[in-house]
C-alpha cells in the first residue's frame, strides 16, 4: 500500500497538470474576451454554459463525480466571465456612468421633505444633515415623501431605512424599488423614546398608547409591563403625539421623542423607555436625480436571481472577486411571486472605481432587474 508521502507526490503531479491546463484555458477565454470586446457580444452565455455542464458531467461516472465536475466547471466559467468583464471595463466598453458625479449638494437652497409632523425623528435627522434652518415641509407618510421627490415638489427627502434594534424599515425597501428616486446621503441619529401624555396624566389612567409600529416594538419591554394598555400603530411618532394633544383624552399616551412631546405640549410621563440603550436609526437622503458625491463610499443595489440552486452564491461572487466589502444584505418578497425574493445589498465603493464598474457590469448581465439605488 502506498504511503501518504507517495500519494501526495502523485497529487502534486496531477495538480501541476491541472494548473497548466487552468492557465491555458484562461488564456483562450482571454482571447474570447477580446472577441467579445470587438463584437459587443455578451460575456455571459447561459446556453453555452448549460451545454458545457451537461457535456462534462456526461464524461465522468458516478453521481458524486458528476456533481463535483459540475461545481468545478461552474467555478471555472465564473472565473472566465470575471476576466472578460475586466477586459470590457479596461477597454472602456462600459460607456458612460449611469450616475453623474457631483462635488457637493446645494444644501442651503434645497427644499427638503420629511414624513410626520413637527417633532418627528425624521425632522431631527433632516436638521442633522441639512442644518437646523433648512427650507423644509412635512407630509404624512413615507410614500407621500417619495411622491413629493418624484414629482419634484421637493429636492430631497429624509427617510428612515434601518434601526439598530428593530432592523430594516421594510416599507422603505419596497419604495426604493417602486420609485425612480435615488439615495444620495445618509445620517444616523440616536433614538430615545419617551412615554408622553397630556400634563397631569397618571400612568394608572392610561388605556391606549399610540406610536409608529416600529417604535412600539423598540419600547416593548416597558409597554409589556403594562399589559392592559392597548397599543395602536399610527403613521409616525410625532403624529401620535399630536393625536394625544388633539383628543384631550387623559386615557391616551404616545411613544415619541422628548422633542415631539415638547412641540405638542405634552408632558414626559416616563423618560427613555427603549428596550436597549444606544438605540439609533439610519436615515437616507433621497433625490430624483441620478447623482453621487465624488467622495461617496457606499453603494446600494437591488436585484432578483433565478429561482435555482447556487444563483445567489454566483451573484455574490462578484463582490469577492473584485475585492469589494459587502456590508449588508436584506431580502424582500417579490410581489405576485410567492416565495421568491428580491435582494438588497450594500457594499463599500465609489461608482467611479474600476472594481465597482467591473462588479456592476457582471451583476447587470447575470442578475435580473438590477437597480442601482445610490452611491453615497
**Catalytic site positions:** 281, 283
Candidates 30, 49, 251, 289; binder of ligand PRE (CB under 6 A) is 49
Residue 363 sits in the site that holds ligand PRE (CB under 6 A): no
Q: What is the CA angle 127-265-238, rounded to 5?
A: 45
| # residues contacting ligand PRE (CB under 6 A) | 12
Q: Which CB atom, from 48 or from 294, has the smaller least distance to ligand PRE?
A: 48
Residue nearest to ligand PRE (CB): 80
For 22, residues 6+ apart whose C-beta sits below 8 A from its C-beta are 76
Residue 336 CA to residue 175 CA, distance in Å, equals: 16
Residue 88 sits in the site that holds ligand PRE (CB under 6 A): no
Residue 32 sits in the site that holds ligand PRE (CB under 6 A): yes
Q: What is the DSSP letter of 291?
A: E
Candidates 30, 44, 118, 290; binder of ligand PRE (CB under 6 A) is 44
**Which of 198-232 are b and which e, b meaning 16 or more Cβ less than 10 Å from the residue's Cβ?**
beebeeeebebbbbbebbbbbbeebbeebeebebe
Residue 357 sits in the site that holds ligand PRE (CB under 6 A): no
Q: How far is the CB of 55 from ligand PRE (least distance, A)?
A: 11
21's grid cell: 491546463
Stretch that binds ligand PRE, among 73-81, 159-167, 200-208, 275-283 (CB under 6 A): 73-81
Residue 158 sits in the site that holds ligand PRE (CB under 6 A): no
Residue 177 CA to residue 179 CA, distance in Å, equals: 6
H-helix segments, the chain = 4-39, 46-58, 63-90, 121-130, 142-151, 170-178, 213-218, 220-224, 237-247, 258-263, 311-321, 354-366
Residue 52 sits in the site that holds ligand PRE (CB under 6 A): yes
Q: Which CB atom, from 26 or from 232, has the smaller least distance to ligand PRE?
A: 26
Residue 353 sits in the site that holds ligand PRE (CB under 6 A): no
Q: Which CB atom, from 60 or from 177, has the smaller least distance to ligand PRE?
A: 60
Q: What is the CA angle 277-279-282, rounded to 5?
A: 160
Stretch that binds ligand PRE, among 1-9, 48-56, 175-183, 238-246 (CB under 6 A): 48-56
Q: Which CB atom, from 157 or from 363, has the smaller least distance to ligand PRE?
A: 363
Residue 143 sits in the site that holds ligand PRE (CB under 6 A): no
Residue 30 sits in the site that holds ligand PRE (CB under 6 A): no
Q: How far is the CB of 61 from ligand PRE (least distance, A)?
A: 22
Q: Which CB atom, from 29 or from 139, has the smaller least distance to ligand PRE?
A: 29
Of the candidates 316, 271, 279, 297, which has an alpha carbon nearest to the alpha carbon of residue 167? 279
Residue 80 sits in the site that holds ligand PRE (CB under 6 A): yes
Residue 89 sits in the site that holds ligand PRE (CB under 6 A): no
What order do you get walking across the sheet with 252-256 strand by strand?
Answer: 230-233, 208-211, 252-256, 194-197, 267-270
Q: Strand 100-102 vs strand 291-293: parallel, antiparallel, or unpaired? A: parallel
Candidates 45, 249, 348, 365; binder of ligand PRE (CB under 6 A) is 45
Return the residue matching grid coordinates 442601482.
372
Of the candidates 165, 190, 196, 211, which has an alpha carbon nearest to the alpha carbon of residue 258? 196
Residue 234 sits in the site that holds ligand PRE (CB under 6 A): no
Q: How far is the CB of 37 from ligand PRE (least distance, A)?
A: 12
The number of angstroms, rounded, from the C-alpha of 126 to the middle of its chain's C-alpha atoms is 20
Q: What is the DSSP letter of 203?
A: G
Positions that interact with ligand PRE (CB under 6 A): 29, 32, 44-45, 48-49, 52, 76-77, 80-81, 84
Amino acid at each position: 500500500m502506498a504511503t501518504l508521502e507517495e500519494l501526495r507526490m502523485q497529487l502534486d503531479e496531477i495538480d501541476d497538470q491541472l494548473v497548466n491546463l487552468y492557465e491555458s484555458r484562461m488564456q483562450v477565454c482571454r482571447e474570447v474576451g477580446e472577441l467579445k470586446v470587438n463584437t459587443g457580444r455578451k460575456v455571459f452565455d447561459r446556453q453555452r454554459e448549460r451545454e458545457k455542464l451537461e457535456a462534462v458531467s456526461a464524461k465522468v461516472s458516478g453521481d458524486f463525480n458528476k456533481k463535483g465536475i459540475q461545481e468545478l466547471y461552474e467555478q471555472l466559467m465564473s472565473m472566465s466571465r470575471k476576466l472578460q468583464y475586466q477586459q470590457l471595463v479596461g477597454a472602456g466598453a462600459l460607456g458612460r456612468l449611469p450616475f453623474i458625479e457631483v462635488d457637493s449638494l446645494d444644501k442651503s437652497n434645497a427644499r427638503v421633505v420629511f414624513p410626520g409632523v413637527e417633532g418627528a425623528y425624521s425632522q431631527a435627522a433632516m436638521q442633522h444633515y441639512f442644518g437646523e434652518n433648512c427650507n423644509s415641509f412635512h407630509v404624512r407618510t413615507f410614500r407621500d415623501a417619495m411622491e413629493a421627490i418624484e414629482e419634484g415638489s421637493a429636492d430631497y427627502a429624509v427617510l428612515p431605512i434601518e434601526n439598530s434594534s428593530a432592523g430594516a424599515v421594510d416599507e422603505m425597501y419596497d419604495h426604493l424599488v417602486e420609485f425612480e428616486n435615488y439615495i444620495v446621503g445618509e445620517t444616523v441619529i440616536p433614538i430615545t423614546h419617551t412615554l408622553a401624555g397630556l400634563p397631569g396624566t397618571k400612568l394608572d389612567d392610561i388605556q391606549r398608547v399610540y406610536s409608529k409600529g416600529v417604535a412600539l416594538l423598540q419600547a416593548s419591554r416597558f409597554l409589556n409591563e403594562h399589559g392592559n394598555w392597548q397599543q395602536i400603530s399610527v403613521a409616525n411618532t410625532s403624529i401620535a403625539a399630536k393625536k394625544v394633544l388633539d383628543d384631550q383624552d387623559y386615557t391616551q399616551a404616545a411613544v415619541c421623542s422628548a422633542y415631539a412631546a415638547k412641540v405638542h405640549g405634552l408632558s414626559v410621563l416616563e423618560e427613555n423607555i427603549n428596550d436597549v440603550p444606544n438605540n439609533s436609526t439610519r436615515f437616507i437622503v433621497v433625490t430624483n436625480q441620478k447623482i453621487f458625491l465624488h467622495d461617496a463610499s457606499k453603494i446600494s443595489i437591488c436585484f432578483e436571481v433565478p429561482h435555482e440552486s447556487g444563483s445567489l452564491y454566483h451573484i455574490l461572487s462578484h463582490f469577492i472577486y473584485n475585492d469589494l466589502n459587502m456590508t449588508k444584505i436584506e431580502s424582500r418578497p417579490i410581489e405576485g411571486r410567492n416565495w421568491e425574493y428580491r435582494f438588497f445589498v450594500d457594499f463599500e465603493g465609489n461608482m467611479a472605481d474600476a472594481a465597482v464598474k467591473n462588479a456592476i457590469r457582471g451583476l447587470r448581465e447575470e442578475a435580473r432587474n438590477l437597480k442601482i439605488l445610490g452611491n453615497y
